[in-house]
Amino acid sequence: MKRIVITGMGAVTPVGIGVDAYWNNLIAGASGIDTIKTFDSSELAVQIAGEIKDFNPSDYLEKDLIRKTDPFMQYAYIAAEEALKQSGLEIEPERTGIIMGTAMSGVATTAFTQEALSGASHKKVGPRFIPKILGNIAAANIAIDYNIQGPSFTVSTACSSGGDAINTAMMCMQTGKADAMLAVGAESVLCPLVIYSLANAKALSRRNDDPKTASRPFDVTRDGFVIGEGGGALVLETEEHALARGAKIYGVIEGCGNTCDAHHVTAPHPEGRGAIACMKQALAEAGLSPDDIGYVNAHGTATNKGDAVETGAIKAVFTGKLPYVSSTKGATGHMMGAGGITETIACIKAIETGTLPPTINLHEVDPECEGIDFVPNTAKKAKIDHAMSNAFGFGGQNSSIIVGKYNPAK
């Protein structure tokens, strides 16, 4: 199999825009969760989220692009721009492709447009509405500006969309359809429609009075996840292509897993059947044993069932030496389609720096989650060569991505 290497990274997150800001705030234990600012949430049961702070799209994008894009598209574009710039990739149009991962595309724009339409005397919807809400238009805008003419897919596998974008990009290169791929994940779902539904499903934390500590992965007091938004991007290349152009290589995508629980549309399989199979599949593709993995960035959303099931699944796979595990969703909230990529970036940075990001707001581990070092509250130094990022979503979707330190002699 061709080795697939990482040559560029980009991130737009609630704890910082840009990979450096994102990473530095993660390891400092900062929280990006606060009271919602983009609309009046005072009458909602849930009034908190991980929004992108101090975001002015005109600082990053041309006016015409802003007018025709939804926020999730803007986050995708900005993350992709950072990743491409860092990679120094000179795009060969027909040999470069793009995979976009998003769970809910332009749902917030849809909701706010319908609300405005319902209350208007003149029933008019602008011509940009449809292109703003289509998931694939995020990739299309990036492709248009960078002349990317190769494979283009948009993956929508709930909260595993970002991880599955990486997997799909890797498959495109393994089959010879491209030499370089841009894998992007982005999400912006903040609107009353989505919040009402998730709140009524008892999936969201209601700690409106203490936003920064509301997301509590693996803690006995956790009461649900916090919605986050943002974007992440990776430039992936075959090793041969990257070396031929003298690119700096930040790591290797060693293996990917994708499975389905085939159990329930929202609840995970109680024995973690799909999650276990997914992690094992990624390990098999990487040619690694469980003991080789030094760190797992868990899905860890802070839901009661989800955290307990994932803990059991990790223990079932890593039956020997347990890896360090942390959930960065305590800091960012649940970024859905963006999470699978930004959390993979956290794994790459953990390998590069020898620092593991903490699970903030973890003060008393749930008895159902005991037995694992979740790196509570404070970053930890640890030399690791391989790390895994898990992303599990509604419908029983499971994604596991294994990244490793680049060894040119391998």
Residue 201, classed as helix, strand or coil, is: coil
**pLDDT-based confidence at residue 142 (cuts at 50, 70, 90):** very high
Question: Tens digit of pLDDT for each residue in 92-116?
Answer: 999 999 999 999 999 999 999 998 8
pLDDT of residue 124: 82
Q: One of 241, 269, 299, 386 is an active-site residue; which one? A: 299
Out of 241, 334, 369, 386, the active site residue is 334
pLDDT of residue 119: 82
Element (H, E) at 345: helix 339-353
CA separation for the pair 307, 240 (Å, rounded): 40
pLDDT in tens, 250-265: 999 999 999 999 999 9
Residue partners of 376: CB distance under 8 A and separation at least 6: 358, 359, 362, 363, 365
pLDDT tens, 7-16? Answer: 999 999 999 9
194: helix, strand or coil:
helix
Annotation says 334 is catalytic: yes
- Domain 255-404, CATH among 3.90.1150.10, 3.40.47.10, 3.30.360.10, 3.40.50.2300: 3.40.47.10
Per-residue pLDDT tens over the stretch 320-335:
899 999 999 999 999 9
Pairing relation of β-strands 380-381 and 355-356? Answer: antiparallel
278-305 pLDDT, tens per residue? 999 999 999 999 999 999 999 999 999 9
Q: What is the pTM of this model?
A: 0.97
**Does 264 qualify as catalytic in the annotation?**
no
- At 410 the pLDDT is 60
* Cα gap 233→47, rounded to integer Å: 29
What is the arithmetic mean of pLDDT over 206-214?
Answer: 98
Class of CATH domain 4-244:
alpha beta
What's the rounded Cα separation, in Å, for the pair 269 and 70? 34
Dump pLDDT digits (tens) for 344-377: 999 999 999 999 999 999 999 999 999 999 999 9
Model confidence at 403, in pLDDT bands (50, 70, 90)? Answer: very high
Domains 4-244 and 255-404 share a fold: yes
The domain segmentation of the chain, as residue ranges, is: 4-244, 255-404
When pLDDT is cut at 50, 70 and 90, the band that residue 122 belongs to is: confident
Q: Are 330 and 307 in contact (CB under 8 A)?
A: no
Query: What's the burial of 259, exposed, middle or buried (CB within 10 Å: 0-12/13-18/19+)?
Result: buried
- Mean pLDDT taken over the chain: 97
Active site residue 299: yes
